[in-house]
C-alpha cells in the first residue's frame, strides 16, 4: 500500500472519531436525527465490549486510487481500550495491528518485524477507534435525510456537516440500521474530491476480550524490534 493511501486511511479514522465526546454537547439539531443518534449512542454504550469486522474503501480520483482493505476492531469504549487489525488490500494477510490500553499504543508491522510504541494521547496514528461508533456526538450539525435501500435492507440516512468550515472533510453520511440501532456505514467527503467509506460487515456486542487483549507482548513475537517513540 502506498504512503498516500495509508495517510488517507489514517485520515478516515481520524475524522470518524474526531468529534467523539459527551452527548450533552448536542446543539440544536434536526429532531428526528437527534432521536436516532441518541438511540445509537445509548445502545453502544450499554455494551462492555464490541467486536466489528469492517471494510475501508478509499477513492482518490486525482491519484486514480480505488482501494479496499478489511479489518477487525475489538474495543472497550468505557475503558478507552482497543485492538485494531488491518489486512493487505484484497487479502487476509495482516498488514498491521494497533493495540491501545488507554495509556500506550503499539503499532505492530509484521512484514518489518517491528513494533512502534507511542503514548496513546499523542500517537502519530491520530485515532482512537474505541470511540468510532460515537462519531457524531460533538462538533457536527446533522439532519435526517430519509431512508435508503442498500443490499436489500433499508437504512436511516443522516448527513453531518462540521461546525468548523475549515475542515477538509465537509460532509459525513451515516447509514444506520434502525432495528439494531447501529451505524452500518460512514462515508466521508473531502473537498479535494476524495471519498472514504467505512462499512461494518459484522457487529458483535459483549465480545470476549482477554485481560491482555489490548497490550502488545513482544515476548510472543521472537525477533521483533521495539521502537519506543515516547
Q: Using CA atoms, how far apart are residues 130 and 109, in angstroms rounded to an integer?
A: 20
Residue 175 contacts residue 33 (beta carbons within 8 Å): no
What confidence category does residue 17 fall into, taking pLDDT thresholds of 50, 70 and 90?
very low
Hey, how many other C-beta atoms are within 10 angstroms of the C-beta on 103?
Answer: 11
Q: 3 CB contacts (<8 Å, ≥6 apart)?
A: none
Q: Which is higher by pLDDT, 85 or 25?
A: 85
Q: Which of 73, 115, 119 is CA-nearest to residue 217?
A: 115
Closest CA to 72 of 224, 219, 209: 209
Q: For the whole prediction, is pTM greater than 0.85?
A: no
Is pLDDT at 141 greater than 70 in this prediction?
A: yes
Q: What pLDDT digit, counting tens, does each position of 172-211 carry?
A: 899 999 889 888 988 889 999 999 888 999 999 999 999 8
Q: Output DSSP code: residue 168.
A: S
Amino acid at each position: 500500500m502506498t504512503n498516500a493511501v495509508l495517510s488517507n486511511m489514517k485520515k478516515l479514522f481520524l475524522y470518524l472519531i474526531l468529534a467523539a465526546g459527551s452527548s450533552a454537547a448536542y446543539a440544536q439539531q434536526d429532531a428526528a436525527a437527534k432521536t436516532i443518534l441518541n438511540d445509537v449512542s445509548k445502545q453502544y454504550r450499554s455494551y462492555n465490549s464490541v467486536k466489528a469486522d469492517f471494510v475501508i474503501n478509499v477513492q482518490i480520483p486525482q491519484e486514480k486510487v480505488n482501494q479496499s482493505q478489511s479489518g477487525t476492531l475489538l474495543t472497550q469504549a468505557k475503558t478507552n481500550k482497543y485492538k485494531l487489525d488491518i489486512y493487505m488490500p484484497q487479502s487476509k494477510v495482516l498488514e498491521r495491528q494497533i493495540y491501545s490500553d488507554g495509556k500506550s499504543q503499539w503499532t505492530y508491522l509484521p512484514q518489518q518485524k517491528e513494533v512502534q510504541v507511542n503514548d496513546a494521547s499523542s500517537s502519530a496514528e491520530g485515532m482512537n477507534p474505541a470511540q468510532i461508533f460515537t462519531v457524531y456526538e460533538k462538533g457536527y450539525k446533522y439532519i435526517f435525510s430519509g431512508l435508503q435501500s442498500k443490499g436489500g435492507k433499508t437504512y436511516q440516512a443522516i448527513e453531518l456537516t462540521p461546525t468548523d468550515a475549515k475542515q477538509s472533510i465537509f460532509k459525513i453520511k451515516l447509514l444506520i440500521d434502525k432495528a439494531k440501532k447501529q451505524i452500518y456505514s460512514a462515508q466521508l467527503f473531502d473537498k479535494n474530491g476524495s471519498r472514504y467509506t467505512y462499512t461494518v460487515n459484522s457487529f458483535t456486542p459483549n465480545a470476549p476480550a482477554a485481560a491482555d487483549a489490548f497490550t502488545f507482548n513482544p515476548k510472543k513475537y521472537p525477533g521483533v524490534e521495539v521502537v519506543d517513540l515516547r
